[in-house]
Amino acid sequence: MENDSLSRRPFLHRCLLYGTALTLSLGMSLPCRGKPTSKPNIVFVLTDQWRAQATGYAGDPNVKTPNLDALAAESIHFENTVSVCPVCTPYRASLMTGRYPLSTGMFLNDLYLPAEELCMAEILNKVGYETGYIGKWHLDGHGRDVFIPRERRQGFDYWKVLECTHQYNDSCYYAGDDPTLRKWNGYDAYAQTKDAQDYIRSHAQADDPFLLMVAYGGPHFPHHSAPQELKQWYPVDGIKLRPNVPEQGQDRAAKEAQGYYAHCSALDRCVGELLKTLSETGEAENTIFVFTSDHGEMLGSQGQPSYEKQRPWDESIRVPLLVRYPLLAGHDGKSVKTPVNTPDLLPTLLSLAGVAIPDTIEGEDLSRLIQDNKTDEDRAALVMSVSPFAGYSGGKEFRAIRTARYTYVCDQDGPWLMYDNQMDPYQMNNLIGDADHVRLQAELNDKLQSKLKQTGDLFFPKHHYLMEWGYSVDDRGCIPYFYQHSRQAKKPEDFKVQSPANKPK
């Protein structure tokens, strides 16, 4: 029988959040090659559905990403970075708060992240940062093309944002406090990049540092909408698929991959433009530049749909993560195998910037890895699917850990998947129940259980968490959403904002 006190857990989390005192220190220092004379700028590039394998520097035989390859050569490349919950809104909430999805209740798409959650821009605002956000938000929960007022922007000042769209050639946004719906010119990532370049130029050499988030919608499907001239780089009959794509799915996977890789190359151009502007303005040395994604893309691997995520395999859970900070770490890149999880990103950035980490944050500060050549390959990163939705066939909940070498996954029936990713990089040999790996399975299970205990996750079925947080979902397991300015989905009058803030007590 479930413990009655569990129903009070979200309420207690909120009490802790309200009662936490935030102390921000300006005196924190880190060993560095040339000690920063001022706090660093932060340019954070967030892509959508870009799997870790899909770059030139990661060894993909298809994709052309010269700018990212050059960036990797002078960055810290975190090889084993995973998405804590490989789908858009849960990842973004975890990134902004440094907290796990079951701590905030943000484990489904199209939820509203409550204003009382302490987020990245709010923390940095308090120590003098200018803050800007351009692109896809997907944390407001009031509809996918509805104006987001200042009080729901989690501390960001400069604002050119739409909640969510993947109509890359017909993409809209709101600017600042003007509720007029505007449209990006052409392919939206190109226009968003130009705006980000203008932001960098206007803030270059200023007294106050800046945080600029650039959140692109690609390479998330629809893949066919990628720039035509870039799709021509990837003829379908020349696509080399991963060995774990079954034969019966290869034709579709190759067709999808053409557009997917074209989106990747388009965004690679955008990254190159941002880096060029930082260099031209003299801001490159004292800017922390981050490139990553919210989750990956199956593209037919393991026989899964070509556009699917929310799966426990590496194509879904592993994401790229490059961190460049020349003034601290120099220009010599290196790879780090220590697993990194989504909640770790915020405390690590704060530490690199010399900003104290609030008590609300649950992730670990991994800034030591920027200069420390020692790695913790046994560190386990938690991955979860709390309440699968939107086409995740079978709707299987799972909890998983990813170490530098192993993947271990449990579903509601017990151990499900186990891979030695060093010996089996395409995860084609499930070792669960294998007589030669009984001890390894027990060790990994202990690691998973320890991680669940650490995060207060009792791994109940999805219905428990939907009831606990007061969420109503449709027959696909989705939080209903609407488009106000199109004929898609629901009408505003039929829509109820769902968030941890308005759940039943």
Which residues are catalytically annotated? 88, 138
How many residues make up the chain in this entry? 505
Consecutive H or E run containing 195: helix 188-203
By the 8 A CB rule, do 131 and 211 touch?
yes
CA gap 134, 43 in Å, rounded: 11
Locate 216 and state its tokens.
Answer: 């692109």
Q: What is the DSSP annotation of 76-123?
A: EEETTEE-SSSSHHHHHHHHHHS--HHHHT--STT----TTS--HHHH
Rounded Cα gap, residues 349 and 367, in angstroms: 7
Rounded distance, CA 213 to CA 110, Å?
Answer: 20
* Residue 334 bridge partners (DSSP): 76
Place of tokens 């995520």: 309
Residue type, 66: P
CA–CA gap between residue 86 and residue 294 (Å, rounded):
7
**Alpha-carbon span 305 to 23, nearest angstrom:** 46
Burial code of 250-263, b = ≥16 C-beta within 10 A, e = fewer?
A: eeebbbbbbbbbbb
Residues 198 and 248 sit within 8 Å (Cβ to Cβ): no
Q: Determine the angle formed by the axes of helices 9-19 and 462-469, rounding to 10 degrees.
A: 50
Contacts for 386 with CB less than 8 Å, ≥ 6 apart: 85, 90, 101, 102, 107, 108, 397, 462, 465
The answer to whether residues 470 and 504 touch, using CB atoms and an 8 Å cutoff, is yes
CA-nearest of 87, 44, 37 to 348 is 44
Contact 490, 472 (CB under 8 A): no
Cα distances (angstroms) measured from residue 161 to each of 114, 135, 176: 18, 5, 9
Return the ∠ at Cα 463 (arms to 409 and 505), rounded to 5°: 125
Residue 146 in contact with residue 484, Cβ under 8 Å?
Answer: yes
